Chain A
Amino acid sequence: MVFQFVDLRSDTVTKPTESMRAAMAAAEVDDDVLVNDPTAFRLESEMARIMGKEAALFVPSGTMGNLISVLVHCETRGSEVILGDNSHIHIYENGGISTIGGVHPRTVRNNPDGTMDIGLIEAAIRDPRGELLYPTTKLICLENTQANCGGRCLSVDYTDKVGELAKKHGLNLHIDGARIFNAATALKVPVDRLVRAADSVSVCLSKGIGAPVGSVIVGSSDFISKARRLRKTLGGGMRQVGVLCAAALVAVQENISKLEEDHRNARALAEGLDQIKGLKVNVASVETNIIYVDFLKDSNSTAEKTSKKLKEQGILLMLESSNRIRLVLHHQVSASDVQYTISCFKSALTGAPEKNGF
């Protein structure tokens, strides 16, 4: 039995490559709190340039990237932010914008494609005349790609429209761009054009781009200056952080071009799984590197049992519910890993004896 290890739990599992490890060991560093670590400075300058914004700030995680962004845009007590009801900030960040930041969330329904209806967003903006009873809307957040909707991309056109709406009402626009490079790749647009309408973007480098740690917030100089201060307050001011930034620089230079292959692999995996009796994958909605797989009633097994069997075959995935699993592709999952995965699913679900996984 040929045993392969295929980690599809998330693109956060990517391990640092040889070139990243070498860069980390050799990194030029300094105290990033007292002065500016030179490698952090290089990364931040590069990311600001790539994203078409004035400045950037390295942070330990996407959660901190979003938390800081929301809190800086909503620095006045009594603020409200509009965001998707299925967004990562709302569901998976411990409610930190409220519990830590004192900001009130106003959710708008996410469509299956990750967007929110522009009309519904506008309707959610608080009328300033009601300020005696209302918090003050300060910010709209988008998420691109939208993870819970299956890695769906928001187009340049849609993003610009939301940006115009924000401007019309004197609001700011933040994009949770954890996987913004995936979006730009899939849409075949320059990433700076994609986020042009946004006042700030939080970009993860530790996901598909493959750095071991970190995200970068980009925005105006003034915004980033406030962000840097809040980062310190939250405890994210690290000292010789150039060690991590060196790996992140390598990641940005080497791995963005690999995302297209991740998307091809995801589509191949989605198609292969959809053909298996008992499973359903909405192949048309697999735009980037995330796949949701549903277990149909007539399936031979449950999501949980299948996960366990696959784990024995070396395949790790995320159990979403009793009949849904999530798979995420990344550059450390190859095309042959994808074929292996499909065959393991087949044998797990058809109950056929395992013959070398094929």
Chain B
Amino acid sequence: MIVKSPQSQWLLSWEKVTFEWEVSWKLKEQPSPNPPTSNPTLFNYKPEGGSDHCGIKLIIGFRVSLLLSFWAATGCAIGLLVGEVLAEMSSRIIDLRSDTVTKPTATMRAAMEAAEVDDDVLAHDPTALRLETEMAKIMGKEAAVFVSSGTMGNLISVLVHCETRGSEVILGDNSHIHLCESGGISTIGAVHPRTVRNNPDGTMDIGLIEAAIRDPQRELIYPTTRLICLENTHGNCGGRCQSIEYTDKVGDLAKKHGLKLHIDGARIFNAATALKVPVDRLVWAADSVSVCLSKGIGAPVGSVIVGSKDFISKARRLRKTLGGGMRQVGILCAAALVAVQENVPKLEEDHRNAKALAAGLNRIKGLKVYVESVETNIIFMDLLEESQLTARELSEKLGQKGILLIAGSSTRIRLVVHHQVTTPDIQYAISCFKGALAGALENGF
């Protein structure tokens, strides 16, 4: 029997006759000084990602030998277990605001501490080089460059593809680049956007994209279309995936008109996981991809742009111009390497959890979730009139139970699942929603 939660972990291991547990209460956030060893035991085990969840740690340890104390201690353990569950209910944090909230794990912290570094501007930081080489290989492109954020990844990509003054880019009217990046491609990059309607599934009609491409014969009055941008998964459409077939079609269209194709692949690994396809095949048609490592993959900071050598060379230069040239950046890249190695396989469980959460919430009177459109780790949930609550009111009630989320509008809430939200957390969240909507909050039951 194993009971896990973000704040406390017990291992009741019946294989060995000894058992160990660790109880930690989150009383006040404090840094946790010791990275764990590879063999967690009573005195050094830490919950994953929990190094800054653990405040004052109360460690009750019993190392019980074979026969004598075993049964006596079992009774104590069960009593403590029940007490801890009750105590924990009021101090548990389930952060569903975004997958960007993922905190560095113990292995990431250890990697950062030990990272081999050098000045990445004067030379090439060796850990950055390792990460960039690995990401280029994974994504099936010639080269890669580490950047401080997805916003910078997209900004650089658009500006390099559109380096000639008077350029235009075609992108979705509901895309992250267009809505949530401060209009930087224009205000900073002087590139003109031409939006095409995003369908609910995140795609844009191929015919409408083609119709938006500027006719060169009218260049006296038109900017010059240089680039098409896709977003996979599509954040504002609810984490929807774009298929290989669709992506290839858009790539063919781009080639036909001499344009480039950039994919905002902030959550491209989620897409590849959900579609059950190799990620390099998924982005094959793209000239460049911006891949976030600080979202579901869980690194503390950063994204990687991948593309041709020539493209990345220009990207590196523009990165410096924008101020993204960091010195001993291998520290961040070390954590990112761990993230890529360890967390990509966990995305499938995030998707299962998201679907379970969606299904559970949809059964609650007053809520509506389009369960069939939950393909990855993002859920949009609508508050119906009968709920008699606004999104903000519901957020506040749930906040008191330790459930953090973002109210998108007065009636819409977004939830994002990530590897630091477990299956029991999902069940707890559902019960808290139930309680909040039933109008009676009784310890989340």
Pairwise interchain contact B98-A31, C-beta atoms closer than 8 A: yes
For A21, A28, A100, the residue with the greatest tally of chain B CB atoms inside 10 Å of its CB is A100
Interface string of B231-249 (1 = CB under 8 A from A): 0000000000000000000
Interface window among B18-26, B322-330, B383-391? B322-330
In the bound complex, residues from chain B placing their C-beta under 8 Å from that of A102 are 190
Q: How long is the Cα–Cα vector from A68 to B184 in the complex, in angstroms? A: 13
In the bound complex, residues from chain B placing their C-beta under 8 Å from that of A91 are none
Closest chain A residue, CB of each to CB of B293: A239
- In this assembly, does A59 line the interface, its C-beta being within 8 Å of a C-beta of chain B? yes
Q: How long is the Cα–Cα vector from A16 to B121 in the complex, in angstroms? A: 16
Pairwise interchain contact B335-A243, C-beta atoms closer than 8 A: yes
- In this assembly, does B31 line the interface, its C-beta being within 8 Å of a C-beta of chain A? yes
Q: How long is the Cα–Cα vector from A38 to B149 in the complex, in angstroms? A: 19
Closest chain B residue, CB of each to CB of A100: B188
- In this assembly, does A29 line the interface, its C-beta being within 8 Å of a C-beta of chain B? yes
Contact of A94 among B101, B119, B317 (CB under 8 A): B317
In the bound complex, residues from chain B placing their C-beta under 8 Å from that of A243 are 104, 112, 300-301, 331-332, 335
In the bound complex, residues from chain B placing their C-beta under 8 Å from that of A15 are 117-118, 328
Closest chain A residue, CB of each to CB of B292: A239
Closest chain A residue, CB of each to CB of B294: A239
In the bound complex, residues from chain B placing their C-beta under 8 Å from that of A100 are 188-189, 321-322
Interface string of B103-121 (1 = CB under 8 A from A): 1100001101110011101
| Given A25-B109, A28-B30, A239-B300, A63-B323 contact (CB < 8 Å) | yes
A24 CB to closest chain B CB (Å) equals 5
A212 CB to closest chain B CB (Å) equals 3
Contact of A213 among B100, B181, B331 (CB under 8 A): B331
Pairwise interchain contact B152-A213, C-beta atoms closer than 8 A: no
| Given A235-B147, A235-B148, A28-B122 contact (CB < 8 Å) | no
Pairwise interchain contact A235-B327, C-beta atoms closer than 8 A: no
- In this assembly, does A120 line the interface, its C-beta being within 8 Å of a C-beta of chain B? no
Q: How long is the Cα–Cα vector from A28 to B117 in the complex, in angstroms? A: 22
- In this assembly, does A93 line the interface, its C-beta being within 8 Å of a C-beta of chain B? yes
Pairwise interchain contact B119-A21, C-beta atoms closer than 8 A: no
In the bound complex, residues from chain A placing their C-beta under 8 Å from that of B101 are 30-31, 34, 239
| Given A15-B117, A25-B35, A235-B149, A60-B323 contact (CB < 8 Å) | yes
In the bound complex, residues from chain A placing their C-beta under 8 Å from that of B152 are 234-236
Pairwise interchain contact A64-B323, C-beta atoms closer than 8 A: yes
Pairwise interchain contact B113-A22, C-beta atoms closer than 8 A: yes
B108 CB to closest chain A CB (Å) equals 9
B10 CB to closest chain A CB (Å) equals 24
Interface string of A1-35 (1 = CB under 8 A from B): 00000000110110110000110111111110110
Q: How long is the Cα–Cα vector from A220 to B329 in the complex, in angstroms? A: 29
Interface residues on B, range: 35 or more
B288 CB to closest chain A CB (Å) equals 15
| Given A24-B112, A25-B113, A240-B301, A9-B122 contact (CB < 8 Å) | yes
- In this assembly, does A84 line the interface, its C-beta being within 8 Å of a C-beta of chain B? no
In the bound complex, residues from chain B placing their C-beta under 8 Å from that of A247 are 331
- In this assembly, does A229 line the interface, its C-beta being within 8 Å of a C-beta of chain B? yes
For B121, B181, B301, B323, the residue with the greatest tally of chain A CB atoms inside 10 Å of its CB is B323
Pairwise interchain contact B326-A28, C-beta atoms closer than 8 A: no
In the bound complex, residues from chain B placing their C-beta under 8 Å from that of A214 are 326
B201 CB to closest chain A CB (Å) equals 27
Q: How long is the Cα–Cα vector from A284 to B191 in the complex, in angstroms? A: 50
In the bound complex, residues from chain B placing their C-beta under 8 Å from that of A233 are 151, 181-184, 187-188
Closest chain A residue, CB of each to CB of B318: A94
- In this assembly, does B33 line the interface, its C-beta being within 8 Å of a C-beta of chain A? yes
Closest chain B residue, CB of each to CB of A215: B323
Q: How long is the Cα–Cα vector from A94 to B159 in the complex, in angstroms? A: 15
Pairwise interchain contact B323-A213, C-beta atoms closer than 8 A: no
A34 CB to closest chain B CB (Å) equals 6
Pairwise interchain contact B323-A12, C-beta atoms closer than 8 A: no
Q: How long is the Cα–Cα vector from A206 to B300 in the complex, in angstroms? A: 20
Pairwise interchain contact B182-A213, C-beta atoms closer than 8 A: no
Q: How long is the Cα–Cα vector from A79 to B103 in the complex, in angstroms? A: 41
- In this assembly, does A65 line the interface, its C-beta being within 8 Å of a C-beta of chain B? yes
Q: How long is the Cα–Cα vector from A25 to B103 in the complex, in angstroms? A: 12
Contact of B31 among A12, A28, A93, A237 (CB under 8 A): A28
In the bound complex, residues from chain B placing their C-beta under 8 Å from that of A64 are 322-324
- In this assembly, does B52 line the interface, its C-beta being within 8 Å of a C-beta of chain A? yes
B297 CB to closest chain A CB (Å) equals 12
Closest chain B residue, CB of each to CB of A237: B149
Closest chain B residue, CB of each to CB of A207: B327
B160 CB to closest chain A CB (Å) equals 13
Pairwise interchain contact A240-B300, C-beta atoms closer than 8 A: yes
Closest chain B residue, CB of each to CB of A247: B331
| Given A233-B151, A237-B151, A26-B122 contact (CB < 8 Å) | no
- In this assembly, does B155 line the interface, its C-beta being within 8 Å of a C-beta of chain A? yes
Q: How long is the Cα–Cα vector from A89 to B188 in the complex, in angstroms? A: 18
Within 8 A of A (CB), among B84-131: 97-98, 100-101, 103-104, 109-110, 112-114, 117-119, 121-122
- In this assembly, does A108 line the interface, its C-beta being within 8 Å of a C-beta of chain B? no
Pairwise interchain contact B151-A29, C-beta atoms closer than 8 A: no
A30 CB to closest chain B CB (Å) equals 7
- In this assembly, does B320 line the interface, its C-beta being within 8 Å of a C-beta of chain A? yes
- In this assembly, does B6 line the interface, its C-beta being within 8 Å of a C-beta of chain A? no
Q: How long is the Cα–Cα vector from A237 to B147 in the complex, in angstroms? A: 11
Pairwise interchain contact B182-A21, C-beta atoms closer than 8 A: no
Pairwise interchain contact A26-B325, C-beta atoms closer than 8 A: no
Pairwise interchain contact A16-B117, C-beta atoms closer than 8 A: yes
In the bound complex, residues from chain B placing their C-beta under 8 Å from that of A61 are 323-327
In the bound complex, residues from chain A placing their C-beta under 8 Å from that of B118 are 13, 15
In the bound complex, residues from chain B placing their C-beta under 8 Å from that of A258 are none
Pairwise interchain contact B326-A60, C-beta atoms closer than 8 A: yes
Q: How long is the Cα–Cα vector from A63 to B152 in the complex, in angstroms? A: 15
Pairwise interchain contact A31-B100, C-beta atoms closer than 8 A: yes
Within 8 A of A (CB), among B160-209: 181-184, 187-190
For A21, A24, A60, A214, the residue with the greatest tally of chain B CB atoms inside 10 Å of its CB is A60
Pairwise interchain contact A232-B182, C-beta atoms closer than 8 A: yes
Q: How long is the Cα–Cα vector from A213 to B335 in the complex, in angstroms? A: 15
Pairwise interchain contact A96-B322, C-beta atoms closer than 8 A: yes
- In this assembly, does B37 line the interface, its C-beta being within 8 Å of a C-beta of chain A? no
What are 7 pairs between A and B in contact, CB < 8 Å?
A28-B31, A28-B52, A100-B188, A100-B189, A236-B149, A243-B104, A247-B331
Beyond A67-B322, A236-B323, A240-B300, list 10 extra A-B contacts (CB 8 Å).
A12-B119, A22-B113, A29-B52, A64-B323, A99-B321, A100-B188, A212-B328, A235-B152, A238-B148, A239-B300
Q: Shortest 9 CB-CB distances between A and B: which pairs?
A: A64-B323, A235-B152, A212-B328, A240-B300, A25-B113, A94-B321, A233-B182, A63-B323, A235-B151
